[in-house]
Structure 1
Amino acid sequence: MVAAVRGVTIAGIGGCVPPAVVTNDDLAQVVETDDEWIRTRTGIRQRRVADPGTATSDLAEVAARRALEEAGVRPDQVDLIIVATVTPDMPFPSTACLLQDRLGATRAAGFDLEAACSGFVYALAAGAQFIAAGLYDTVLVVGAETLSKIIDWSDRRTCVLLGDGAGAAVLRPAAPGEGILGLYLGADGSGGDLLKQPAGGSRLPASPETVARGLHFVQMNGREVFKFAVKTMGDAAQAALAQAGLTFDDVDLYVPHQANFRIIESSARRFDLPLERVVVNIDRYGNTSAASIPVALDEALSTGRIRAGQTVLLVAFGGGLTWGAAVVRWGYDRPAPRPLEMPGQEPRYGLPEWIREQAARGRARAGEPAQGEPAAAASEATAPAALAVPRAALDPAAVTAASPGSEGRPAWGGGGTR
Structure 2
Amino acid sequence: MSTTYTRLAAVAAHLPETTLTTAELEERLAERNPGLDLPRGLILDGSGVRRRHVADPSDRPSDLAAAAGRKLLDEHGVHPGDLDLIIYAGVSSDLVEPATGHVVAAKLGADCPVFDVRNACNSVLNAIEVADTLIGGGRYRRVLICCGELPSAITPWTVGGTEEFFTVAASYTVSDAGAALLLEAGGSPGVLAHAFTAYSAAWEAAVVPVLDFNSDPLAGPPRLGPLVVSGVKLLGGFEKIDSTVFHKPLADLGLTWDDMAAICVHQASLPMLWKFCDHVGIPPGKVVVTIAQHGNMVAATLPVQLAMAVESGRVRRGDLVAMIGLASGVSAGIAVVRW
CA distance in 1, matches of 2:242, 2:75: 30
CA distance in 2, matches of 1:38, 1:326: 31
In the alignment, what sits opposite 1:342? none
SS at match of 1:255: strand
Unpaired stretches in structure 2, ≥5 consecutive residues: 31-36, 160-164, 216-222
SS at match of 1:25: helix
In structure 2, the CA distance between the partners of 1:33 and 1:25, relative to structure 1 (3 Å rule), is farther
Paired residues, what number?
Answer: 316
Greater CA radius of gyration, 1 or 2? Answer: 1
In the alignment, what sits opposite 1:274? 283
| 1:142 has 2:146 as partner | yes
In structure 2, the CA distance between the partners of 1:69 and 1:11, relative to structure 1 (3 Å rule), is farther
Encode CA deviations 1:162-184: one digit per residue, 9 max, x unaligned. Answer: 111011100011234x2111101
Q: 1:130 aligns with which of 128, 131, 134?
A: 134
Encode CA deviations 1:212-268: one digit per residue, 9 max, x unaligned. Answer: xx9622211123324544774944321332443423232221110121112221232
In the alignment, what sits opposite 1:117? 121
* 1:197-346 alignment, distance < 5 Å: 197-200=208-211, 216-229=225-238, 232=241, 234-330=243-339
Between 1:138-147 and 1:218-227, the stretch displaced more is 218-227
CA distance in 2, matches of 1:52, 1:190: 36
CA distance in 2, matches of 1:51, 1:151: 14
In structure 2, the CA distance between the partners of 1:11 and 1:35, relative to structure 1 (3 Å rule), is farther
In structure 2, the CA distance between the partners of 1:199 and 1:140, relative to structure 1 (3 Å rule), is same
Q: Which amino acid aligns with 2:66?
A: E
How far off its partner does 1:34 sit? 5.4
Partners of 1:182 and 1:328 within 8 A in 2: yes
Q: 2:176 aligns with which of 125, 143, 164?
A: 164
In structure 2, the CA distance between the partners of 1:243 and 1:11, relative to structure 1 (3 Å rule), is same
Partners of 1:146 and 1:165 within 8 A in 2: yes
Unpaired stretches in structure 1, ≥5 consecutive residues: 208-213, 331-418
SS at match of 1:162: coil
Q: 1:24 aligns with which of 22, 25, 29?
A: 22
SS at match of 1:28: helix
User: RMSD of the alignment, in Å?
Assistant: 2.3
CA distance in 1, matches of 2:251, 2:326: 19
CA distance in 1, matches of 2:124, 2:113: 18
In the alignment, what sits opposite 1:340? none
SS at match of 2:41: helix
How far off its partner does 1:14 sit? 0.8
CA distance in 2, matches of 1:243, 1:28: 47
Partners of 1:71 and 1:170 within 8 A in 2: no
| 1:196 has 2:194 as partner | no
CA distance in 1, matches of 2:40, 2:294: 15
CA distance in 2, matches of 1:182, 1:299: 22
Partners of 1:57 and 1:98 within 8 A in 2: yes
In the alignment, what sits opposite 2:78? 73
Q: Which amino acid aligns with 2:15?
A: V
| 1:92 has 2:101 as partner | no
How far off its partner does 1:198 sit? 2.1
In the alignment, what sits opposite 1:62? 67
Encode CA deviations 1:45-73: one digit per residue, 9 max, x unaligned. Answer: 01111222111011111101122234432
Partners of 2:61 and 2:93 within 8 A in 1: yes
Q: 1:83 aligns with which of 85, 88, 92?
A: 88
Encode CA deviations 1:79-112: one digit per residue, 9 max, x unaligned. Answer: 1111112210111111110111111111x11011
Partners of 2:154 and 2:224 within 8 A in 1: no
TM-score by length of structure 1 reads 0.70
Q: Which amino acid aligns with 2:180?
A: A
Q: Which amino acid aligns with 1:84?
A: A
In structure 2, the CA distance between the partners of 1:146 and 1:243, relative to structure 1 (3 Å rule), is farther
Between 1:133-142 and 1:64-73, the stretch displaced more is 64-73
* 1:356-395 alignment, distance < 5 Å: none
Partners of 1:230 and 1:266 within 8 A in 2: no
Q: Which amino acid aligns with 1:217?
A: P
